[in-house]
Chain A
């Protein structure tokens, strides 16, 4: 078996509480989690709010440092990377965030927003960047003229399409999505998920997809990890988890889904 693209080894995160003089015991958001994702596969992480799934994702994005454990991307431990290696890792791993309203700088045009990753990594001339932005906007199903607009002039679905375009503009190998569709209504959600799946296939991405929505997780994932209070209670192939859940909590979650008909259609 080949080396997984993302490997999370015994990772924990404790958030310190209290101030300078009183040390509270701290809150354990993620507790001894080990997961890995193989190339071109999608790992779905499902759990209710507060289960630590977003914290885990932020650690893989190298935004929060784990209290314990190691995170490897393409075989390299991300917190030991410095300088050029770190920059290369930043280029390989891209996020898509949950809230389309706050994931764009409200004062920048779509063009400036999409050009930022290219500028940071010094890719292409101004003309080449423009070309790439236009191509990508078309690819995510938007009129390239949209590049002159400001984020608040776009709908939620349009914004998430832009977010997907931004996530792949650097040609990453890993995309980490934190509830990218939870703020959208159901019909738009289905379109965005379809686009996400297409883009994933076209760009050969390895992805981790975090959601509290089981229907969404089932649609996008090859493997699923179920998180509860910072721990992974069950993990395995998506079909196996959904058809033959072993852990009580997974059964509870599945039973709590309102309509099986919706799940089947999603």
Chain B
């Protein structure tokens, strides 16, 4: 046992992180364990059980081909999570790289990189995604890349602003004065000191990625049937709104919960990392 005096856990400070984390954790766990958790295969057709409402055998009812909606919504979480993780990662990695380089080298490098980012920024996200999908071809992997590209300018701006404030610190001048190489200064002195706000941004991007993926799949540009995705489930559900509202409500609720959880986590992390709010 440690005898050191520990600060008591500050519930007020961490409540958003804990609640958001719990929601996100549950969804992630369901996604990972989908084949074991889901009561049925998401692909099994049962024409006799078409469009049945929630019941003991099918907790959330069945769709127009008699597939179990609960099983499909759980399997769809896998796809959504995978797209969200990878798209956020693409945005985080490239955005950080571009923003940090722009801040570090300044001048003409900064001018060119940031103007490029502004051009990307000036397109509405969903339109940009559709254009990218049209040129890359329709597949879930390309949807992921397209969403990642949409995220790059946001991360780049944040990385640039944060890196600029770190660059003004004397330890960066010190590093230059001892002859440290550019790469080493970037990796050793700058990156570790700009990471916290970028990770918070990543949590927010994550929830946005879920939404975008759903939107793309809804438009038929993301996950391709019969693979279940929250977006294409919504799209199918739309046709049966009157007779089988659960087909729309279930994936809609899944999207809502996920976005809610990630936003909460992101906001909570931002507050928890803010030194100004540290000891209230």
On A, residues with C-beta under 8 Å from B are: 20, 58, 61-63, 86-87, 90-91, 93-95, 97-99, 102-107, 116-117, 120-121, 166, 170
B279 to chain A, nearest CB (A): 14
Q: Which residues of B contact A63 (CB under 8 A)?
A: 173, 176-177
Contacts A62-B177, A93-B177, A121-B178 given; 20 further ones with Cβ under 8 A?
A61-B173, A61-B177, A63-B176, A86-B179, A87-B179, A90-B177, A91-B179, A95-B177, A97-B170, A97-B173, A97-B174, A103-B169, A105-B189, A105-B192, A106-B193, A107-B193, A116-B188, A117-B178, A120-B181, A120-B184
**Minimal Cβ-Cβ distance residue in B for A117:** B178
Within 8 A of A (CB), among B179-235: 179-181, 184, 188-189, 192-193
**Minimal Cβ-Cβ distance residue in B for A100:** B170
A157 to chain B, nearest CB (A): 17
Interface-centre pick from B174, B179, B181, B184 (highest chain A CB count, 10 A): B174
A212 to chain B, nearest CB (A): 17
| Cα–Cα, bound, A62→B174 (Å) | 11
- 11 A-B pairs within 8 Å (CB atoms) are namely A20-B111, A90-B177, A95-B173, A97-B170, A102-B171, A103-B171, A104-B171, A105-B171, A105-B193, A116-B178, A120-B179
| B175 part of interface (Cβ distance < 8 Å) | yes
From B170, B176, B180, B181, A99 is in contact (CB under 8 Å) with B170
Q: Which residues of B contact A105 (CB under 8 A)?
A: 171, 188-189, 192-193
From B169, B170, B171, B178, A90 is in contact (CB under 8 Å) with B178
| Cα–Cα, bound, A58→B170 (Å) | 12
| Cα–Cα, bound, A143→B179 (Å) | 28
Asked whether A120 lies within 8 Å of B178 as measured between CB atoms, the reply is yes
**Minimal Cβ-Cβ distance residue in B for A90:** B179
| Cα–Cα, bound, A20→B112 (Å) | 13
B268 to chain A, nearest CB (A): 22
Contact A120 B180, CB 8 Å, known A105-B189, A106-B193: yes
Contact A102 B177, CB 8 Å, known A107-B193, A120-B184: no
Asked whether A103 lies within 8 Å of B174 as measured between CB atoms, the reply is yes
Asked whether A116 lies within 8 Å of B177 as measured between CB atoms, the reply is no
A110 to chain B, nearest CB (A): 13
| Cα–Cα, bound, A242→B116 (Å) | 57
A117 to chain B, nearest CB (A): 5
| Cα–Cα, bound, A169→B93 (Å) | 36
| Cα–Cα, bound, A228→B180 (Å) | 33
| Cα–Cα, bound, A99→B171 (Å) | 10
| Cα–Cα, bound, A181→B9 (Å) | 39
| Cα–Cα, bound, A86→B188 (Å) | 21
**Minimal Cβ-Cβ distance residue in A for B184:** A120
| Cα–Cα, bound, A23→B169 (Å) | 28
Q: Which residues of A contact B188 (CB under 8 A)?
A: 105, 116
Interface-centre pick from B169, B177, B180, B189 (highest chain A CB count, 10 A): B177
Q: Which residues of B contact A104 (CB under 8 A)?
A: 171
B114 to chain A, nearest CB (A): 13
Contact A103 B170, CB 8 Å, known A63-B177, A87-B179, A95-B177: yes
A166 to chain B, nearest CB (A): 8
A63 to chain B, nearest CB (A): 6
Q: Which residues of B contact A86 (CB under 8 A)?
A: 179
B176 to chain A, nearest CB (A): 6
Q: Which residues of B contact A91 (CB under 8 A)?
A: 179
Q: Which residues of A contact B169 (CB under 8 A)?
A: 102-103
| Cα–Cα, bound, A58→B176 (Å) | 11
Asked whether A95 lies within 8 Å of B174 as measured between CB atoms, the reply is yes
